[in-house]
Chains A and B, each alone.
Chain A
């Protein structure tokens, strides 16, 4: 077990290290988030009430768009210098690689989400401080589900020519439950309702996360074969 976790950790560490040196994904994703904010503002107009009504949907629209870019790239870096073969040849259970990549994606999304929340606070004059713990729980459950499917499908589409096109087409319908659950739970949390109000959605998110994780862990080795 510990060897398994260590292998997953090595993948996370490798990706974090290469990201820290190249700053390939994070810089562009944060900048993309700022641009999204402008798009939302232009789409909705200057009225603050409209932004507040649409807020849960806007937040998750931002997360899923950033996620589409981030998850689709998960395995692209492995295509260079025969890294993919290295992964295939690495000893032990291949699902450790999946979990490592998944953890890396969750980490990346956590940064992007924090930035987006901060930007919303500043530019739309919103205040999340009172509901932050509950909001973090919803974000964690939602992000885990998105990343679980995103990492798996990212590995599937990495070798395709039309991957930029096919990846969203595969991912979006598959994560409909996550989007519905996250938006509804976020709505409830932002309105200041007690967490019990959103309990049904949180359970659904947790169940969906579990199913996606199990499918991902069980099938990843077949995807990795390339």
Chain B
């Protein structure tokens, strides 16, 4: 029941997010309507990081307690995490084409997000190849923990790699102080995405529990 309420709340928030993104937020002066992709892009990446944080939590929790619930949490968070990272990359690409003139550039943030995507796709592939629940949970937990511990290292290495090769030429102007309506719209959408993630995680955890019941 609580999960269903959370779902409706997430749906409502997403509608509000769409409404503010298209109805309330002003048309950006330089980029025009293309800038509205930001209301999808930024909440998606923040939500993805939250999801990977949950994977870490679930992984550590499982190794410490061996309760299957922790493993279900890790699985339930990893799947939407990968999807939200995919949305981040795709929406960034669609934004980049008209703004930078290219779908993809080996910019630091693009590259580290793509690496993150690959790490957790590997995580899900590994899960798919193991049948025995405890073995799967242990193997996945180790990969999940290393993957999360790796996030800051990947971030800095890729940043320096770009910085040492050439100074930032593409990202252009420094982010200016955000106008209040834009910040508010971002906040609404971020909240909506977070609620959506929590709903997906709750639902997926429940499905995983039923799957385990059925299998065991």
Contacts and interface: CB of A to CB of B under 8 A. Distances in A.
Q: Do A and B bind each other?
A: yes
A180 B158 contact: yes
A45 B130 CA distance: 44
Interface string B139-167: 10111011101100110111011001000
Interface of A: 149, 152-153, 156-157, 159-162, 166, 169-170, 172-174, 176-177, 180-181, 184, 200-201, 204, 207-208, 211-212, 215, 219, 222-223, 225-226
B138 A162 contact: no
B122 A215 contact: no
A176 B161 CA distance: 11
B142 A177 contact: no
A211 B150 contact: yes
B67 to A, nearest CB: 14
Interface centre among A159, A161, A219, A226 (most CB of B within 10 A): A219
Contact of A166 (B126, B138, B158, B160): B126
B157 A173 contact: no
Contact of A170 (B115, B126, B156): B126
Given A170-B143, A208-B157, 16 more contacts: A156-B142, A160-B129, A166-B122, A169-B122, A169-B125, A173-B118, A174-B147, A174-B150, A176-B115, A177-B150, A177-B156, A204-B153, A211-B150, A222-B138, A225-B135, A226-B135
A153 B129 contact: no
A177 B154 contact: yes
The range of chain B's interface size is: 20 to 34
B63 interface: yes
B135 A177 contact: no
A223 B138 contact: yes
A166 B157 contact: no
A204 B125 CA distance: 29
Contact of A211 (B141, B149, B160): B149
A177 B126 contact: no
Contacts of B78: none
Nearest to B160: A200
A212 B181 CA distance: 43
Nearest to A204: B157
Contacts of A215: 142, 145-146, 149
A162 B129 contact: yes
8 contacts: A156-B126, A170-B125, A177-B154, A180-B157, A180-B161, A215-B145, A222-B138, A225-B138
Contacts of B135: 159, 225-226
Given A169-B125, A176-B154, A211-B150, A184 B142 contact: no
B146 to A, nearest CB: 5
Interface in B114-133: 115, 118-119, 121-123, 125-126, 129-130
A152 B150 contact: no
